[in-house]
Amino acid sequence: MITVESLTRKYGGFTAVDDVTFTARPGRVTGFLGPNGAGKSTTMRIMVGLTPATSGTALIDGARFVDLTNPGHEVGVLLDASAQHAGRTGREILTIAQRTMGLPKGRVEEMLDLVSLTPQEAGRRVRNYSLGMRQRLGIAAALIGDPRVLILDEPANGLDPAGIRWMRDLLRDFARRGGTVLLSSHLLHEIEVIADDIVVIGQGRIVAQGTKAELLAGAGTLVRTPDAEVLGRALAAQGVSCSAVDGGLRTDATPDLVGRVALGAGVPLTELRSGDGAGLEDMFLELTADTQREGAAA
Amino acid sequence: MTATTVQPRTTSTPTTAVPRERRSVPPIGLGRVVSVELRKMFDTRAGFWMLMSIAILSVLATGAAILWAPDADIDFELFASAIGVPMSVVLPMIAILSVTGEYSQRTGLTTYTMVPRRGRTIAAKAIAAVLVGVASMFVALGIGALGNLLGSSIVGVPTDWNISVTEFSQIVLAQVLGMTIGFMLGVLLRSSAAAIVAYFVYSLVLPGLLMLLAGVQSWFADLQPWVDFNLASSRLYDQTMTGEYWAQLGTSGLVWLVAPLAVGLALVMRSEVK
């Protein structure tokens, strides 16, 4: 479990992390979502003791990270997959971790296997790695100590679609076995695919947090039908407002209500679902509209 | 990465997972960190050739001494000083890069998350650097001894082993002190380029400046031996150390080594690792 309480980090007059409080629970994947420069990486660096906090605390199972005697066995960390000596081979980087943490030698090959780096690739120097390979190597280094907690900063960056699916399954499985996962991303879809809980940050402040289901509940319903106009009138008659989207309607009502209204109006539906993807995206853009660089991009 | 490439799964989130227990974890001993830091010094091509350059330069210096030194000068001391010059350049570079690599290559991000007590890592690096320095000196001693045997038999002079154990220990100490200056600059500046430049300013420019200052300012002339670390440590090479010389090595070392190292360590502990 990761417990972050009133965490603040100031650089002179600039507050990079502003009174951030949240919890990442065991058995769940917590997504840390925010636009670039929102304070995600700074928060994560504070968690692992690389950046001192101005005030507030970040605890891993009740202990400060810097007080852990051999943190690699308890917390797997991947902050920047490119922060490796370009002249070392992938296998050498894992060997350094294995020796530092005092693990059996076999762990290196196990981890290479787990992240699907071939022996040939593992023997190459990291300067010749693609970003995706570096991310895999970083994941291997984070998992080598068999930790209970994972802290991953933008781990899906540079992974191809199959890689993202692989990472999702890996992290889901890690959480299912009782582990705690905190991963950040500035891409909504990644978080949406992988996370159970979501913490949204903008300009150093937490702007929303909750389970994915909770955050989606406010996202309304997306319904597609060839008779959008008819359904729109039927919904309006029930006092439900809706807006037209490509080939359908979006409304704040629940899918359940929309389905009943459609049935009553005899309108055939081709799709009916909670407006998750687009809804969460709207939420993300809305929540961060006044904090992100592009302004009200939504 | 778009939503179309990976379909969100509708499976519900796991709620039955049992939080994993904390287990007892073996702490990381200093010895282990030292062995890892030693490995990190030489597991890249740059590091490997840096180490090899010690042997290569020693052989080259020995060869040059045999070729060009006057026959009468062929003795152990000649080879010791010939080898000492390249060593006094390479060893401090090894010490500098062992620290600054963590910052210029950004490996500190991993190093300091695996061993959050940064003092422990820095101490391990210092020990590793000294070990490398001492070991290199013994390699150099061996190469120099071979050179002495070979050189004296080629030119037909009696082999002269005119370096005592004390003298050799002093040379080792002088080389290690030079490394420590490099280490200090690495810790203080945490940038490879800046620390290397600073090392050459310290070892090549500073002695001249201090000499000049002592020449024009009489008050400094008396003070200089007590604050000039270059001067004090160079005596280790070629003079019998007196009590006063040792004392001057101590006071100048406080100024040029201990004080800046303390500042550098404080900075390393507090600084943000990015």
Give domain status of residue A245, yes or no: yes
Pairing of strands A180-185, A149-153: parallel
Give domain status of residue A201, yes or no: yes
A190 CB neighbours in chain B (<8 A) are 1
Tokens of B189: 């500046």
Domain identity same for A136 and A264: no
| Separation of alpha carbons B253 and B226, rounded Å | 9
Taking only the tens place, the pLDDT of each residue in B28-47 is 999 999 999 999 999 998 88
A171 CB neighbours in chain B (<8 A) are none
Give domain status of residue A283, yes or no: no
Contact B116 A66 (CB under 8 A): yes
Domain identity same for A197 and A108: yes
Please answer whether residues A246 and A209 qualify as being in contact, where contact means their C-beta atoms are separated by less than 8 angstroms: no
In this prediction, the residues of chain A whose per-residue pLDDT falls under 50 are 295-298
Query: ipTM more than 0.90?
Result: no
Q: Which DSSP string do the residues of A220-271 spell out, in sequence order?
A: -EEEE-TTHHHHHHHHHHTT--EEEETTEEEESS-HHHHHHHHHHHT---SE
**Three-state helix/strand/coil letters over B156-175:** CCCCCCCCCHHHHHHHHHHH
| Chain A, nearest residue to B274 by Cα | A50
Domain tally, chain A: 2
Q: What is the residue range of A6's domain?
A: 2-211
A101 CB neighbours in chain B (<8 A) are 28, 114
Q: CATH number for the domain including A230?
A: 3.30.70.790
Interface test with A, best of B100, B110, B267 (most A CBs within 10 A): B110
Q: CATH number for the domain including A31?
A: 3.40.50.300
Please answer whether residues A206 and A21 qualify as being in contact, where contact means their C-beta atoms are separated by less than 8 angstroms: yes
Contact A45 B107 (CB under 8 A): no
Contact A99 B116 (CB under 8 A): no
A289: CB partners within 8 A, 6+ apart: A295, A296, A297, A298
Give domain status of residue A264, yes or no: yes
Taking only the tens place, the pLDDT of each residue in A194-242 is 899 999 998 899 988 888 877 766 667 888 888 888 888 898 888 888 8
Q: Between residues 190 and 219 of chain B, which touch chain A (CB distance below 8 Å)? A: none
Instruction: Name the residue among A82, A165, A177 with its Cβ closest to that of B6.
Output: A165
Give domain status of residue A248, yes or no: yes
Contact B40 A189 (CB under 8 A): no
Domain identity same for A117 and A260: no
Contact A50 B44 (CB under 8 A): no
For chain A, percent of residues with pLDDT exceeding 70: 91
Q: Give me the pLDDT at residue B17, please.
A: 66
Domain identity same for A262 and A172: no
Please answer whether residues A166 and A155 qualify as being in contact, where contact means their C-beta atoms are separated by less than 8 angstroms: no
Give how far the C-alpha of residue A59 lies from the chain's centroid of Cα atoms, to the nearest Å.
19
